[in-house]
Amino acid sequence: MNKPIIGVIGGSGVYDLDGLENKRWEAIESPFGEPSDEILRGALQGVEMAFLPRHGRGHRLSPSGINYKANIDALKRVGVTDILSVSACGSFEDQLAPGTFVIVDQFIDRTFAREKSFFGNGLVAHVSMAEPVCSRLGDMLEQAAINEDIPVVRGGTYLAMEGPQFSSRAESELYRQWGCQVIGMTNMPEAKLAREAEICYATVAMVTDYDCWHPDHAHVDVATVIEVLIGNSEKARNLVKAVAPKLGKREDSCPQGCDHALDNALITAPEARSADVISKLDAVAGRVL
């Protein structure tokens, strides 16, 4: 197992951490295009960290405009072994009030305008998404949140919508009927690509609003979301600082097999594989190619 390097995908409120040593921004080239931004490298309590602003510094990119493939490829290229995805979300349940953190364990992908796989014509692969989140990371995040007195719920389904508009009331009610707990715009195809890249992945969904289903909170507006986001940012920083030392102690392979997700995924015969496609996958799938 490679030395643990913890990747954090989120906003500026997450990576502006006290105690981050040897800080430097690094531009990482990817064959899949430009990542959202440079990667902030550093060490936190002796643990190597890599922070990637999902929307770019200054929030330049819309959810549909993010190059998810380049982001995950870039993190893989700097050696990231574990990804903590921190993002804002809406809630579908009364008890998941704004300010609550949800450690998601399942996704429903309703996005439609994004490239969702590193693989395709020339090299076909089918990766299991039955368990899209690394339970080891989830366990550590939950315990760290409890230790930091952060309101946290373990488990839940994240509905990924295309955006950038918020839901209609009819959509919001439909997703509640499906049994979803939270809704957001950024964790797909991020989670799928992390799986293909054999990187352990976990989502911390930070509730900012009740979407538009709630009779007492019928409209979602940006001003309200930003106000809650500011409060959530401090909690997110505390969570990252608390969980980093625990993640840095990992020595063995992932017990859930996240780091070997490609073992039985490639289906194209070796002699029929595209050399051009293979050349782009040197980081993502180099272990099996």
147: tokens are 């230790």
**DSSP state letter for 56:** T
Averaged over 18-47, what is the pLDDT?
96
Averaged over 87-92, what is the pLDDT?
93
Cα 7 to Cα 79: distance, rounded to the nearest angstrom: 9
1 confidence band (pLDDT: 50, 70, 90): low
Averaged over 114-126, what is the pLDDT?
97
20-34, 104-118, 210-224: segment of lowest average pLDDT:
210-224
Averaged over 234-242, what is the pLDDT?
94
Q: State pLDDT tens for residues 52-81.
A: 999 999 999 999 999 999 999 999 999 999
Whether the per-residue pLDDT at 176 is higher than 80: the answer is: yes
Candidate list 82, 105, 109, 209, residue with the active-site label: 209
36 confidence band (pLDDT: 50, 70, 90): very high
148 confidence band (pLDDT: 50, 70, 90): very high
Cα 233 to Cα 10: distance, rounded to the nearest angstrom: 10
Cα 64 to Cα 190: distance, rounded to the nearest angstrom: 12
pLDDT at 65: 97
pLDDT at 216: 66
Contact between 138 and 217 under an 8 Å Cβ cutoff? The reply is no
pLDDT at 30: 98
The predicted model scores a pTM of 0.95
- Tell me which of 228 and 12 has the higher pLDDT: 228
Percent of the chain having pLDDT more than 90?
Answer: 84
Q: State pLDDT tens for residues 194-205.
A: 999 999 999 999
pLDDT at 53: 96
pLDDT at 219: 62
Its sign, for the CA torsion 289, 275, 79, 101, is negative
pLDDT at 221: 66
Whether the per-residue pLDDT at 93 is higher than 90: the answer is: yes
Q: Is 221 a catalytic residue?
A: no
pLDDT at 232: 86
* Residues in CB range of 135: below 8 A, 6 or more apart: 105, 256
Topology classification of domain 5-280: Rossmann fold (3.40.50)
**Number of H helices and number of E strands within the chain?**
7, 11
Amino acid at 244: A
Whether the per-residue pLDDT at 279 is higher than 70: the answer is: yes
253 confidence band (pLDDT: 50, 70, 90): confident
Q: Is 209 a catalytic residue?
A: yes
pLDDT at 63: 97
215 confidence band (pLDDT: 50, 70, 90): confident
97: tokens are 């009030």
pLDDT at 132: 97
Candidate list 211, 216, 252, 282, residue with the active-site label: 211
Q: State pLDDT tens for residues 11-26.
A: 767 888 889 999 999 9
